[in-house]
Structure 1
Amino acid sequence: MTADGRPGPDRALYTISVAADLAGIAPQSLRLYEQRGLLSPARTDGGTRLYSDNDIARLRRIAELAEEGVNLAGIARILDLQEENTRLRGAGGGAG
């Protein structure tokens, strides 16, 4: 929970139909993106996918890249590089 009592951005809250609606993507696409390793939603004990706010943001980024004509392999590489860049900026403290 955040300081204001709301769930944090990593908390899995949304079912696949709600996540698809929030991201503007068909549920089948979410399943495909998971199969291709572009995201990993949480799962309930019964196997139901649950998506967090961070997952929704990632889905929106995937959709943007797909609209620009980037294929799924390219999207995976771009997302990996962006995550690595974020990690490096956090670890290094910035340029001097």
Structure 2
Amino acid sequence: MGDSGRRDRRDIPLDELAPLFVISVAAELAGMHAQTLRSYDREGLVSPGRTPSGGRRYSQRDIQLLREVQRLSQDEGVNRAGIKRIIDLESQVLALQARLTELSDELDRANAELRKASQHTASSVAEASEAVHRSYRRDVVPWRAPSAAIVTWQPRSR
């Protein structure tokens, strides 16, 4: 903070995805020529945001991606088609990880609700069972299924 109580711009965290940098600044930050950035944009390797007039605006994440493209190309010898595939697969992995986290959280909530419901249900079942037993008429004789036993009949002699 400065003396006036206002925050200095350096104190404000930048959103990694906010399109802030014009192409010349992005090229300098990434250590590349601006024409290379235009080429990567045409090929779909790095797609910066656009202003209403169509100017490119690169985010901090775009700068990181440009550096990664350069590393894969120069240090690893990966061609641009391979780089595009790697970037696409990394994006899919990130999306799947986010979805997994989302589903895991949902499952945790559902399990908590199930535990709560099963505790409530167990006590409700016990209470309902007790109520049914209390409602039995005591003068009713329980029915028993007929026996399958064979009885032989012998007439009385006279």
Letter of the aligned partner of 2:82 in structure 1? G
Query: Residue 33 of structure 1 is aligned with which of 29, 32, 40?
Result: 40
**Aligned with residue 44 of structure 1, among 44, 51, 63:** 51
The percentage of counterpart residues that share the same residue type is 45
Which residue in the other structure is 2:78 paired with? 70
**2:93 matches 1:85:** yes
Letter of the aligned partner of 1:10 in structure 2?
Answer: L
Cα deviation for residue 52 of structure 1 reads 0.5
Match of 2:28 among 21, 28, 48: 21
Q: Which of structures 1 and 2 has the bigger CA Rg?
A: 2
Report the secondary structure of 1:9's partner residue.
Answer: coil
For these two proteins, the number of residue pairs brought into alignment is: 91
Q: What TM-score results when the alignment is normalised by the length of structure 1?
A: 0.85
AA of the residue aligned to 1:34: D
The CA RMSD measured in Å over matched residues stands at 1.6
Displacement, 1:27? 0.8
1:58 correspondence with 2:65: yes
Distance 1:71 1:38 in 2: 11
Structure 1 distance, partners of 2:98, 2:32, is 31
* Aligned-partner Cα distance in 1 for 2:94–2:53: 34
2:18 is the counterpart of 1:11: yes
Long gaps (5+) in structure 2: 1-10, 105-158
After TM superposition, which residue ranges in structure 1, 4 or more long, deviate above 4 angstroms?
none
In the TM superposition, what whole-angstrom CA distance separates every residue of 1:21-79 from its partner, at most 9, and x where no partner exists?
10111111100100001121112222221101011011111111111211111000001
